[in-house]
């Protein structure tokens, strides 16, 4: 039996932002390569976690996949079709089948609009429901995310953060998506509410066979929720594979450092940057060679030369490192 066609295929995606400078040709303009040669694919119903330190490009990757930010290179395919800003119908098709849930549940809702209206708006724009059935469908969606349909008339400020995030999920579900990208979708909420929202998301993901890209700082939550995980460093994926394998036996030196900072992957503990040697290089002034080499305990001469190593297959995972380090080697040992 052949493998199912991936729902989403991202190949060599690159996004850069201009970061000041006077912009004279060859002089002054500086760029942040927020997403750099990123490739990944997701099957229908699959969950992929995206982790990495602040500023490594997780949100930009999510936004670029949904064409909410312009990419300067690479390709996104959704259900086999190329998504291109030169082809509005390809973007319309993508937006009809893929939605994003953001971190700040209040900021992503119009404060003047009752939440029932906010959901109805999505149904109307995407022509998901006949006009006379919109109210019933809004009530159904509210019920689906565990909110009483009586809340439909309330404005966002009359709801709690957790309730607002449920509305955000209801709006995402209103399009009957195949893919949801959740960007730190519970980071702004109390821990007890976080668990409720995450359980809801996972239940809906299973019920509807949604593909989910789950962007998070929280390695414990990613381990719990996601079958596969991508680890990003300075705009690149450095390791990608089955979550259990990557977390139990991280292969890339950066993944090792990231996980060493949270040995028991306790969701209440945050990353301790002291576990990593030195500072991350400025994204405006990346080193040649592997972007992790100045901080890497295994770095060799080759790591400082040429281009960054590309993501390559290594057993059941993918790895952007010149070496296949022994899985049980410790930091500080040679490759
Ligand atoms: N609109 C923008 N203009 C200029 N630079 C940007 C813009 N958005 C992001 N960047 C830069 O791109 C890089 C990646 O940012 P991004 O927000 O994608 O990181 P992130 O991994 O989501 O971080 P966090 O964990 O803090 O949310 C950073 O260096 C950031 O400063
Ligand atoms: Mg972000």
- CATH number at 253 reads 3.40.50.300
Predicted confidence at residue 22, as pLDDT, reads 54
For residue 215, the ligand 1 atom closest to its alpha carbon is 22
Predicted confidence at residue 170, as pLDDT, reads 96
CA 314 – ligand 1 centroid, Å: 29
Predicted confidence at residue 66, as pLDDT, reads 96
For residue 69, the ligand 1 atom closest to its alpha carbon is 1
* Model confidence band, residue 19 (pLDDT cutoffs 50, 70, 90): confident
CA 130 – ligand 2 centroid, Å: 36
Please indicate whether residue 171 or residue 106 has the higher confidence score (pLDDT). 171
> pLDDT at residue 334 above 90?
no
70: containing domain: 8-280
> pLDDT at residue 264 above 60?
no
For residues 139, 137, 108, 265, the Cα torsion angle rounded to the nearest 10 degrees is 80
Query: Does the residue 286 lie in any domain?
Result: no
Predicted confidence at residue 245, as pLDDT, reads 95
Predicted confidence at residue 243, as pLDDT, reads 97
What is the CB neighbour count within 10 angstroms for residue 3?
6
Q: Which residues lie with the beta carbon below 6 Å from any ligand 1 atom?
A: 17, 19, 32, 34, 54-60, 283
Least confident range from 4-18, 45-59, 199-213, 319-333: namely: 319-333
Query: Does the residue 145 lie in any domain?
Result: yes
Predicted confidence at residue 21, as pLDDT, reads 56
Please indicate whether residue 49 or residue 276 has the higher confidence score (pLDDT). 49
**Which residues line ion ligand 2, judged by CB < 5 Å?**
59
Cα gap 161→13, rounded to integer Å: 33
> pLDDT at residue 269 above 50?
no
Write the pLDDT tens digit of every residue in 243-253. 999 999 999 99
Query: Does the residue 322 lie in any domain?
Result: no
Nearest residue by C-alpha to atom 11 in ligand 1: 34
> pLDDT at residue 62 above 80?
yes
Q: What is the pTM of this model?
A: 0.91
For residue 63, the ligand 1 atom closest to its alpha carbon is 18
Query: Does the residue 333 lie in any domain?
Result: no
Contacts for 258 with CB less than 8 Å, ≥ 6 apart: 51, 52, 53, 219, 231, 250, 271
Place of tokens 């281009």: 307
Task: Please classify residue 1 by burial: count the beta carbons closer than 10 Å to its beta carbon, then call 0-12 exposed, 13-18 middle and 19+ buried.
Answer: exposed
* Model confidence band, residue 1 (pLDDT cutoffs 50, 70, 90): low
CA 308 – ligand 1 centroid, Å: 20
If one residue of 19, 29, 60 were mutated to test the ligand 1 pocket, choosing by the most ligand atoms within 8 A of its CB, it would be 60
Task: Please classify residue 123 by burial: count the beta carbons closer than 10 Å to its beta carbon, then call 0-12 exposed, 13-18 middle and 19+ buried.
Answer: buried
- With a pLDDT cut of 90, the percent of the chain lying above it is 74
Query: Does the residue 35 lie in any domain?
Result: yes
Predicted confidence at residue 330, as pLDDT, reads 46
CA 53 – ligand 2 centroid, Å: 9
Mean of pLDDT values over 162-183: 95
> pLDDT at residue 335 above 50?
no
CA 185 – ligand 1 centroid, Å: 16
Structurally, the chain folds into a number of domains equal to 1
């Amino acid at each position: 039996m052949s493998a199912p066609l991936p729902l989403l295929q991202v190949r060599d995606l690159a996004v850069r932002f201009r970061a000041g400078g006077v912009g004279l040709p060859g002089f002054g303009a500086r760029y942040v390569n927020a997403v750099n040669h990123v490739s990944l694919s997701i099957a229908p119903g699959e969950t992929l976690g995206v982790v990495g330190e602040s500023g490594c490009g997780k949100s930009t990757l999510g936004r670029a996949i949904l064409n909410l930010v312009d990419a300067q290179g690479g390709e996104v395919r959704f259900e086999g079709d190329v998504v291109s800003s030169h082809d509005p119908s390809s973007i319309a098709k993508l937006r009809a089948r893929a939605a994003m849930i953001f971190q700040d549940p209040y900021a992503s809702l119009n404060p003047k609009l009752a939440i029932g209206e906010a959901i109805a708006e999505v149904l109307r724009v995407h022509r998901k429901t006949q006009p006379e059935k919109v109210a019933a469908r809004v009530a159904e969606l509210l019920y689906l995310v565990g909110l009483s349909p009586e809340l439909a008339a309330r404005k966002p400020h009359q709801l709690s953060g957790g309730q607002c995030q449920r509305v955000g999920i209801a709006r995402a579900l209103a399009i009957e998506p195949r893919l949801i990208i959740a960007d730190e979708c519970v980071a702004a909420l109390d821990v007890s509410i976080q668990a409720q929202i995450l359980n809801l998301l996972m239940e809906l993901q299973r019920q509807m066979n949604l593909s989910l890209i789950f962007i998070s700082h929280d390695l414990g939550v990613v381990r719990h929720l996601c079958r596969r995980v991508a680890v990003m460093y300075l705009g690149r994926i450095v390791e990608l594979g089955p979550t259990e394998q990557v977390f139990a036996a991280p292969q890339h030196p950066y993944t090792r450092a990231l996980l060493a900072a949270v040995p028991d992957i306790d969701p209440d503990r945050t990353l301790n940057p002291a576990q990593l040697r030195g500072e991350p290089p400025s994204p405006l002034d990346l080193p040649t060679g592997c972007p992790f080499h100045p901080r890497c305990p295994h770095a060799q001469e080759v790591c400082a030369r040429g281009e960054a190593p590309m993501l390559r297959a290594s057993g059941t995972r993918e790895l952007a490192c010149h070496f296949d380090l022994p899985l049980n080697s410790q930091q500080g040992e040679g490759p």
